[in-house]
Amino acid sequence: MRRRFTVASFSLAVVLGCGTLPAAAAAPADTGRSVTAVNALAAPDVDVTKVRAHLSELSAIAGRNGGNRRSTTQGYRDSVAYVKGKLQAAGYTVTEQPCTSGCTRGAGPNLIAEWPQGDTDHVYVFGAHLDGVSTGPGMNDNGSGSAALLENALTLAQQNPAMRNRVRFAWWTDEEQGLNGSEFYVRSLSSTQRSRIRAYYNFDMIASTNGGYFINRITSSAAAPMKAYWDSLGLRPEENTEGAGRSDDYPFQQAGIPTSGYATGAGARKTSAQAAKWGGTAGSSYDPCYHRSCDTLTNINTTGLNRAADGIAHTLWQQAVS
């Protein structure tokens, strides 16, 4: 997730439309999944072990490339290649979208993957930024969102359900420099392409070690399936006020597209009320390694990661699967 600063304007181009989070008192302790939610929608259990395997590969990529995956580096380009290879092998239509204006000079491309089934007039986009800051490998920010999104895409391909609506996955470039990749993508869409996107879901930092359970625009209709899933676990999620306007949902929101998403917190401090509800340490940052060199594989909260990954699947099945 980027720090706050003004997002620049860009020209148009035509493109394709191992910590453990303290459990809430009412939440199931073993898998983080609600039997009621699973039975109601038949959404699959996304294997968090596989999500962590993607994180391990992103960490190794950073290690081979100066210790980071900043958008302008080979570490970012190798991250794109890894995700793209997995998606193509699973049967996705995958497009690299160069950011030809507005992005940091030398930034790598956005990566867009569409599952080739479902109504193209009703598109649900699920996205996460793939780039990180230069000070570390960026495992929570935002390897966590990128890896959970990738495993959800692979799970959808493996399950291959009948699709009612279209699903598009996106991994954004240059988020840490000002939401540049997602801004470029949204500005590149025609008015018709924008109108076909029924909702955009963003996942930026979903494994914070002292985290909470936050949802973007929690009272919106787009957020309803995300909130319903975490409510079913007794987590009592809150509005993601810290992340408002600071991640890749913002350009979609500004374009009039409904948005939501999961987060577990960045540099803001957990309140005593939140610590009482979710556990963890009051007065400490949700992610003490936010934008620091210690944002490594040891900075990943497996319980929160698991609950977010499964909530993504629940939302995807609710919105797009027949």
Under a CB-based contact definition with an 8 Å cutoff, are residues 152 and 312 in contact?
yes
Query: Which residues make beta-bridge pairs with 123?
Result: 166, 197
| DSSP string across 182-236 | HHHHHHHS-HHHHHHEEEEEEE-----TT---EETTTTSTTTHHHHHHHHHTT--
Active site residue 183: no
| CA dist., res. 122 & res. 199, Å (int) | 9
What is residue 141's DSSP assignment?
I
> What whole-number distance in Å separates Cα of residue 73 and Cα of residue 61?
11
How many other β-carbons are positioned within 10 Å of the β-carbon of residue 137? 28
* C-alpha–C-alpha distance, residues 153 and 91, integer Å: 10
151, 175, 176, 183: which one is catalytic?
175
Distance separating the N- and C-terminal Cα atoms of the chain: 33
Residue (of 78, 58, 80) closest to 141 by Cα position? 58
Among residues 31, 32, 85, the alpha carbon closest in space to that of 54 is found at 85
Cβ neighbours, 10 Å, residue 160: 11
Full strand arrangement of the beta sheet holding 197-203? 93-97, 110-114, 165-172, 119-129, 197-203, 259-263, 214-215, 238-239
CA distance 101 to 268: 32
Give the residue among 128, 1, 143, 179 at the shortest CA–CA distance from 62. 143
Which residues belong to the active site?
175
